[in-house]
């Protein structure tokens, strides 16, 4: 693996693990204090770690007994100086208390990490889904 793949994969692994555990602090740990996020849900954008933390608290708090399994496909990344940019297809699967799959959706994620004082931090994240032209509805299932 190269540096970009190592850094980006480490971020994705932490994201996956924190989401499954519904651990807000672990989820926000890799993000910079001044992170700017274009998330797919509700808010047009979120600026700053406090805003991103509130999103995670709301998301994890809304799950009740359910958990979320996160899987990444089509992962790619590159490094330029002290920046790593990566993108992936993300599938979120809701799991019942017994581990059975309830529902799932997919979207696309791009993240930019910057090395600050020797630590890689997410400074920008963008998630999206294609929009069906006629209905203007998001396509949340990845084509087979």
Measured CA to CA, the distance from residue 84 to residue 93 in angstroms comes to 27
Domain range for 38 is 3-128
Q: Is the pLDDT of residue 139 over 90?
A: no
* Residue 123 pLDDT level (bands cut at 50, 70, 90): very high
CB of 53 within 8 A of CB of 35?
no
Q: Give residue for tokens 């087979």.
A: 144
Residue 11 included in any domain: yes
38 in a domain, yes or no?
yes
Residue 3 confidence (pLDDT) above 80: no
CB count within 10 Å of CB 76 equals 11
pLDDT of residue 4: 66
Count structural domains, the chain.
1
Q: What is the pTM of this model?
A: 0.92
How far is the C-alpha of 40 from the C-alpha of 103, rounded, in Å?
Answer: 18
Residue 58 lies in a domain: yes
User: Is 27 within the bounds of a domain?
Assistant: yes
Residue 39 lies in a domain: yes
Q: Give the CATH number, domain containing residue 123.
A: 3.10.450.50
């Amino acid at each position: 693996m190269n540096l970009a793949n190592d850094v980006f994969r480490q971020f994705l692994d932490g994201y996956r693990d924190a989401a499954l555990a519904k651990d807000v602090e672990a989820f926000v740990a890799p993000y910079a204090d001044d992170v700017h996020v274009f998330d797919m849900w509700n808010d047009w954008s979120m600026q700053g770690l406090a805003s991103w933390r509130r999103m995670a608290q709301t998301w994890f708090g809304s799950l009740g007994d359910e958990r979320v399994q996160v899987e990444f496909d089509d992962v790619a990344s590159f490094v330029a100086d002290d920046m790593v940019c990566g993108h992936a297809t993300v599938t979120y699967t809701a799991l019942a208390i017994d581990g059975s799959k309830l529902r799932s959706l997919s979207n696309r994620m791009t993240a930019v990490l910057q090395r600050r004082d020797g630590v890689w931090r997410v400074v920008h994240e963008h998630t999206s889904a294609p929009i069906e032209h006629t209905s203007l509805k998001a396509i949340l299932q990845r084509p087979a």
